[in-house]
Structure 1
Amino acid sequence: MHPEFSHIDDWVFDLDNCLYPASSGLFTLIDARMNAYIRRLLNVNETEAHRVQKSHFYQHGTTLAGLMAEHGVDPHDFLNDVHDIPLDKIDADERLAEGLGRLPGRKFIFTNGDEPYARRVLGRLGIEEQFEAVHCILANDLQPKPRLHGYELLLERFEIDPGRAVLFEDMVKNLKPAKALGMTTIWVDNGSEQAHQAYDPAIVDFRIENVGDWLHQMLDGEL
Structure 2
Amino acid sequence: MLPETTSPSSGLASLHARDAWVFDLDNTLYPAHCNLFAQIDVRMRAYIARFLEIPEDDAFRLQKRYFREHGTTLRGMMLNHGLDPVPFLDYVHDIDVSAVPDCPALVAALDALPGRKLIYTNGSVRHAENVLAKLGIADHFDEIFDIVAADYIPKPQPEPYRQLVSRHRIEPTRSVMIEDIAANLKPAAAMGMTTVWVQTPSAWSRHGSDGDHIHHVVDDLGDWLSEVVAAAQIEAEER
* TM-score, structure 2 as length reference: 0.89
**1:136 maps to which residue?**
146
**1:53 maps to which residue?**
63
The answer to whether the aligner puts 1:26 opposite 2:31 as a matched pair is no
The 8 Å contact of residues 33 and 81 in structure 1, kept in 2 or not, is answered as: yes
Distance of 1:153 and 1:7 partners within structure 2 = 24
Q: Which amino acid is 1:39 matched to?
A: A
SS in structure 1 opposite 2:22?
A: strand
Q: Which amino acid is 2:96 matched to?
A: P
SS in structure 1 opposite 2:119?
A: strand
Structure 1: any 5+ residue segments left out of the alignment?
none
Q: Which amino acid is 2:83 matched to?
A: V
The 8 Å contact of residues 100 and 135 in structure 2, kept in 1 or not, is answered as: yes
- Report runs of 4+ in structure 1 exceeding 6 Å deviation: none
**1:11 maps to which residue?**
21
Q: Which amino acid is 1:208 matched to?
A: V
Distance of 1:102 and 1:19 partners within structure 2 = 16
Q: CA deviation at 1:202?
A: 1.2
Query: How many residue pairs were aligned?
Result: 222
**2:236 maps to which residue?**
none
SS in structure 1 opposite 2:177?
A: strand
Q: CA deviation at 1:193?
A: 5.5
Q: Which has the larger radius of gyration?
A: 2
The one of 82, 89, 94 equivalent to 2:104 is: 94
Q: Provide, for residues 159-204 of structure 1, a one-character-per-residue CA deviation record: whole Å limited to 9, x for no partner.
A: 1100000100111111111011111111111234510112223111
Query: Which protein has greater RCO, CA pairs closer than 8 Å, 6+ apart?
Result: 2
* TM-score, structure 1 as length reference: 0.95
Structure 2: any 5+ residue segments left out of the alignment?
1-7, 233-239
